[in-house]
Structures are given as C-alpha cells and as structure tokens.
A and B are shown apart, each in its own frame.
Chain A
Amino acid sequence: MSKRHQLRELRRRLQQTGTAAPSNCHLGAILAGRQPLPAGTVFEWVAGGTGGGAENGRGGGTVQLVLSVVRRLMREPGELVIVDPNRECYPPGLSQAGIDLTRTVVIRPDTASNTASNTTSSIPANAAADMLWALEQTLRSRGVIAAVCRLDRLDAVASRRLQLAVERSGSRALLIRPAACRPLPTWADVRILVTPLPSLTAQVRRLRADVLHRRGQGPGETVEVELCDATGDVRVVSQLADPTCLPAAVGA
C-alpha cells in the first residue's frame, strides 16, 4: 500500500473516531437538541397514524420532525441534500423550518412520465434508479451533512449500500418511509415511527416518536414532542410539565 493510500486510510479512521455509536444515542436527547444526530448513521422515519392518507403518511408531521433535526445539523459546515423525486419539496416551507437554503441542494430526478405524483407514489424505474444512485453518491461524500429522502421502496441490498456509504463518509441519511415498510427488515441503524396526536393550538402540533428498532437492540424509548408549524421548534413533552406552557411561549 502506497504512502498516499496509507494516509487516506489514516484520515478516514481518524474521522470515524469521534462517531457516536447508534446504540448510545437517545431519541429524546436528539429531538430536544441536547445531542446531535450521530454521524455515519442511517435513520428511518416511518410515517405512522391511522385514517385517510396513513398509507403514505401525508400530513402526519414526519417531514417537519426530520427538518427540525436537520436544521440543528446545519451549524456544521457542509451541504444538506434533499432527494425529491416527487417534486414536492417547497423551499418557503424549508426556510420556515430553519433550513439554510444557500447550503441546500435539491435533487429532482427526471420523472416526466409521472404526471400525478400527488396521487400515487409510483416513480418510473429509471428515475428510481437515478434517485438511489444520487442518494448513494451523496452519502459517500464527506461534504454533505445529511441527506433527506422519501423512499417508498428500498430493497435489502440498496439499504446495505446506503448504510455502508454513510458509515464510510460520516454523513447521515434520514429516510422517510411509509407505514407499509414497518414489518420489513432494514439495515438502518435506527427506525422511528412518527404518529400524529391531538394538537393543542393552531401553531403547535403534537407527535409521538417510537423507536421501533435500534441496531443491536430491540424497540426502545417513546417520546412525545410538540412541534411549532411556524418556526419548526420542537420541545419534548414532559409528563410532569404543564402542557400549556409552549403555546404561551410561542405567543399562540
């Protein structure tokens, strides 16, 4: 092995030294902002809930919760990449959630043949392949803080490739998955189910996050959070605290 390769390998190992093991991360601490999302991990966020729209998780607040986690990562240098095959990502909404658009790249694979993205999640095969290729390339890059992608289908091989790419680069993958994927196996480090709960006010909605799976462990903690639509602020609900304190704090 040449000296150049040895140096490259040394750099890579040094970068990974500080990486937190996924088994040590606590969802409550991550959502409250006390702990950053560990580098080199894949998080799957499953959009749960019941009733109309449950099958694709529309309106359930999963993306809002993911954005609230991502915006804290934007204190680090690097780019945020959003893979958006359905062309739904709305920049004013991202900006409102606190995402720095000047460091955000949106990848929209060509889905010209898919004209009704709002009614189905079907993506042409070539666009799906492009999406996975782009996601893997993104996760291999050390210039990326995190990649966010809504993935309705992900086979085990592709999942493993993504996990290896993230592990090598020290980036983070936040995959938004439909409820139908719950029983399927995954290579993700953590799988979280997000379920909407009755809200308190117009501004603040309440969500429950259950850790369904953590690598090397079984199901884990359950956290209830309050999320402000207007600012993207998240507060972990304490069972002992007065639930009306957040609306008062945000002026709702």
Chain B
Amino acid sequence: MVLFHEARNGLRVVACSRSAMAAGVRRDMPLAEARTLVGDGRFDQHDPSADCEALHELGEWCRRYTPSVALEPMTPAESLVLDTTGCDHLHGGEGPMLVRILDEFSGQGLSARAAVADTLGAAWAVVHFSGETAVVVGSGESIDVLSPLPVESLRLPSEIVGTLRELDLRTVGQLLALPRDSLRSRFDPLLLKRIDQATGRVPEAVAFEHAPQPIVAMWEFEHPVSERAWICVMLQRLVDDVASQLAERFLGTVALECRLLHRQQCRAVTVGLVRPTASGAHLWALLELKLERVPFGDEVSRLQVEATVLQPLRERQTTLIDSPGSPDEAADLIERLTSRLGEATVLRPECVDDHQPERAFRMRPAIRDRLILTAPDLSAVRPPHVRPPSVWREPCRVVAVSMVPDGPPVRFRWQGCDHQIVRSWGPERIETGWWREGQILRDYYRVETAQWRRFWLFRDRSTGEWFLQGSFD
C-alpha cells in the first residue's frame, strides 16, 4: 500500500507499507515510479486530517494507562504524549508499563515505539532516533542520552538543521559543548529553546485533554434480587438520575447503557437514539421497550446506568401548532421501533452503484442516521435498467422452456403452476469479474405471462438453469 500527496512537482509518495518498501518504494518518490515498482499495490491519496483523527482515537484508547493524554505539539502530529506521573507503579514500574503498552499496540496490529523520559523533548528524541523500541531514560540522564543523537532529534526545522550541518555540528552533544551565548547570537532562538526543553531547563506546555466526567448512576442491592418489577423500579430511578445529571451539564445523550451485574456476570442493554436527549421519561420509555425482550433470569446484585455518548442539546423553537411530519416525530418513531425490534430491523435503504442485483443496495440501521431530512429530495438518481419493486432473498429455481438455445423462455413452472409467457424483453446480460467471490453469469428477462403478470427471470449461463429473482407486484 502506498499513500501519496500532491506536491509542487507532482504526485509524491508520503508513506508506504513494508512490502512496498521492500519493493524499493521510498518516501518522496514520484508516484509514477512507485507504480512501476508495485504495479498491483493499492494507492490512496494521503488524508492528514484522517490521520490526526485516527491518532486522536488512539489517544482516547490510551487513557487506560493514564488520564493525561495529548497529541504532540507539532504539526502534523505524529506521536502521542502520555503523562504517566503517578501511574507507572500501577503497571509494575516504567519498564513493565512500556512493555505492556507495546504489547497491547501489537495486539491491535500496530507497530509502535515508546520512551519514558523527564521531558517531552528527550522522550521524542529517543523514540525517533535511538533506534530502539522501548527506552526508559532515568531521571537526570537526559543529557547523557541525548548527546550521541543527531541534531534532528531536537525537533528543529530543516533550515536550522541545514545550517548546523554546514558547520559540521552533527550531534546534540556537539551543540551542548558550545557556549550558550554563541548559540543565542549565531542561531535562531528556537535552537536554544529546543535544547532547553529537551534538557529540562525550561518547561514545555502540553495541552492535555482530560476525559469528561462520566455520567453514570449505580444502585447496589443489599441482597441479590430476581424480581423483575423491583429491578425495573430501580432502573427507572437510575435513568432519572442520569437525566438530571445530563440536564445539569446542558448535555444530551444518544446512547444509554444499562448493566445488570451479579458476581462476575454482567448483562448489558444499550439504547440508541437519533438525536440527543436529557429527558428521563423518554429514555426510560425506550429502555423499557428494550427490557421487555431481555430475560433477567438470574439474580441481580448491582445496577448501573450510563450515558455513553454525550452531545450538546439542540435548542428548538416551540410552536403552538406543531406541523405534521416534523423530524422530531420521525426520530421518536425510529427510536421506539429500534428499541424494541433492534437495529437490524429498522433500516434505511440506499442504492449502491453495482450492477449485480443482490449488491445494488445497502441497508443501514436507521438509528445511525443523525440527520432527518425535512425538505423533499426527489433528485435521486434512478437505476438505468428496469427493476422490479420486489426481489426475493434467494433466487428461486424454476423449470423453464426456451424455443431456441440461449433464447428467451416461453414457459416456466413455479409453485406448482405453469406460466405461459406471452411476451419477454431481454436479455440483459449481467456478469461479474472472476475476482469477485461468487462470480455470476446471467441473462435476465422481463416476462409477461398469459395472465398479464410480470416477472423477472434469469438464466444462469454457467449451468443453463433458470431462476425467478423477482416480480413486478
């Protein structure tokens, strides 16, 4: 895989996979050259904002090690900064903590390097230029560790690095040996600032994003209970508690998780919403619908209700006469239906640009649609060929007769009845490539029977069998 971007001098490689690198692809190489080296590889445009977003998500995941996580204060950010002060002993020390972090990254299929140091500058330099995967720099050892590293490890712009190279200053140690006054007068002030930040002479500000306080309510029974009514009463109180916490913070939730715990067992029920709400009655109505289908079974000793996805509440002007067809009413309906029937039941259809009939559409859970359109949109692109409104899940094999080989059918038998075909239109030949799983080779016909009913048939060209795929009901 190769990622490229549009540079001044054409399309250039930004990053590539190991296999591409083994084939000779290098960073900043022209894309055309990379294509000649890995012709069958995957080439995608580099999206820096997506990278940043993914790094941010990874940072959220790293809150399991420490609550203080931030992206490095550089543009573009490529590293995560974790303030592990006071957290390392929970993992058995700094060394074991690094090993555990790297193991868990590896478990996710991510290769990473990590370092612990007194300063962000020292940790950054060691991670990027020491060549080791995990390094723990002891307290007060930053200067010793930094000395043999190249000057690039000080996070300097290429202009300053170039000047230093011209003066044959290649390592941090060489820079540290020079008088500070001469560095201040001869070089950009950033050089001295970076040296001081790396050695700890001046502090470096890092904007840590602290995780929001979870909105959660819990109840522990004195003795385990199994009575459904009691559990529901307590759950309703907990939902009201969560709703009041939300209201205090002017927030709404679009996902509410309810956990029923007993000893080591935990049964979770999640309710999704289309738009954020802080209404306890609404949340409870949805949760109640969901709980109707959940067998409580064993005893429950602890209940926990948490608003898992928080969003700001939307303000809306109220009117005396609500107009029908309002988005709120539709959202309420989708939430109610989804709560009781499940996400996989309440769906939003979508056409997909694929000529294979079974793959020409997609169904997404309607609850995931945050946007409910109020204005009519009748500009949808229609399929180029005639398609029936009803198509069966699996094509139904039928016995059909053609007058000529590979010709249209003149009769077919289905559900114990003979259907005489008086008119047919086709064939519409649909084939998929050999690379697609379940390759199809089909000739489709629209047919009209002697009773003036219309069906959609196809002949499988690989076997010669006929199938009924749908009907113009």
Binding site for B on A (CB under 8 A): 7, 11, 14-15, 39, 47, 49-54, 57-64, 67, 74-79, 81, 87-98, 100-110, 117-119, 130, 133-134, 137-138, 141-145, 169-170, 176, 196-199, 202-203, 205-206, 229-231
Contacts and interface: CB of A to CB of B under 8 A. Distances in A.
Contacts of B390: 63, 88-90, 93
Contacts of B386: 96, 203, 229-230
Most buried by B among A52, A67, A109, A198: A52
The 3 closest A-B pairs by CB, nearest first: A143-B329, A78-B325, A52-B417
Contacts of B346: 105-107
Given A79-B330, A144-B330, 8 more contacts: A53-B451, A59-B472, A92-B357, A93-B390, A106-B346, A142-B322, A143-B332, A205-B472
B326 A77 contact: yes
A49 B452 contact: yes
A122 to B, nearest CB: 14
Nearest to A65: B473
B453 A53 contact: yes
Contact of A14 (B321, B357, B451): B321
B333 A106 contact: no
Contacts of B381: 95
Contacts of B396: 118-119
B453 A100 contact: no
Contacts of A144: 325, 329-330, 333
B328 A143 contact: yes
Contact of A51 (B324, B326, B425, B449): B449
Contacts of B332: 141, 143
A207 to B, nearest CB: 9
A142 B374 CA distance: 13
A81 B449 CA distance: 31
A69 to B, nearest CB: 13
A58 B470 CA distance: 9
B473 A92 contact: no
B47 interface: no
B389 A78 contact: no
25 contacts: A39-B324, A58-B453, A58-B471, A58-B473, A59-B449, A59-B472, A64-B472, A76-B376, A79-B330, A88-B393, A90-B389, A93-B387, A93-B391, A97-B389, A103-B376, A105-B346, A106-B349, A117-B392, A118-B392, A143-B329, A143-B330, A198-B452, A202-B425, A205-B448, A229-B386
A103 B373 contact: yes
A91 B349 contact: yes
Most buried by A among B320, B336, B373, B376: B376
Contact of A118 (B345, B394, B452): B394
B383 interface: yes
B337 A142 contact: no
Contact of B341 (A91, A97, A130): A130
Interface footprint category on B: 35 or more
B425 to A, nearest CB: 5
A93 B452 CA distance: 19
A109 B342 CA distance: 9
B57 interface: no
A144 to B, nearest CB: 7
B363 interface: yes
A53 B450 CA distance: 12
B47 to A, nearest CB: 26
A196 B453 contact: yes
A61 B449 contact: no
Contacts of B425: 202
A199 B453 CA distance: 10
Contacts of B417: 51-53
Given A58-B453, A108-B345, A117 B472 contact: no
Interface string B344-384: 11111111000001001101001000001111111011110
Contact of B333 (A39, A102, A143, A205): A143
Contacts of A79: 325, 330, 333, 372
B4 interface: no
Contacts of A95: 351, 380-383
A111 to B, nearest CB: 10
Given A15-B324, A49-B452, A53-B415, A93 B389 contact: yes
Nearest to A145: B325
B351 A77 contact: no
A142 to B, nearest CB: 5
Nearest to B473: A63
Interface in B396-428: 396, 414-415, 417-419, 423, 425
B323 interface: yes
Contact of A107 (B337, B361, B446, B470): B337
A49 B451 CA distance: 7
B3 to A, nearest CB: 33
Contacts of B389: 63-64, 67, 89-90, 93-94, 97
B282 interface: no
B453 A51 contact: yes
A92 B347 contact: no
A29 B375 CA distance: 25
B342 A87 contact: no
Contact of A59 (B334, B337, B361, B454): B454
B388 interface: yes
B312 interface: no
Most buried by A among B326, B375, B454: B454
Contact of A100 (B342, B377, B423): B377
A76 B373 CA distance: 11
B143 to A, nearest CB: 62
A108 B347 contact: yes
B336 A137 contact: yes
B466 interface: no
B376 A74 contact: yes
A119 B468 CA distance: 11
B451 A196 contact: yes
Contacts of A74: 376, 378
B348 A104 contact: yes
Contacts of A58: 453, 455, 471, 473
B138 interface: no
A213 B347 CA distance: 34
Interface in B301-349: 320-334, 336-337, 340-342, 344-349
A199 B380 contact: no
Nearest to A141: B333
Nearest to B375: A77
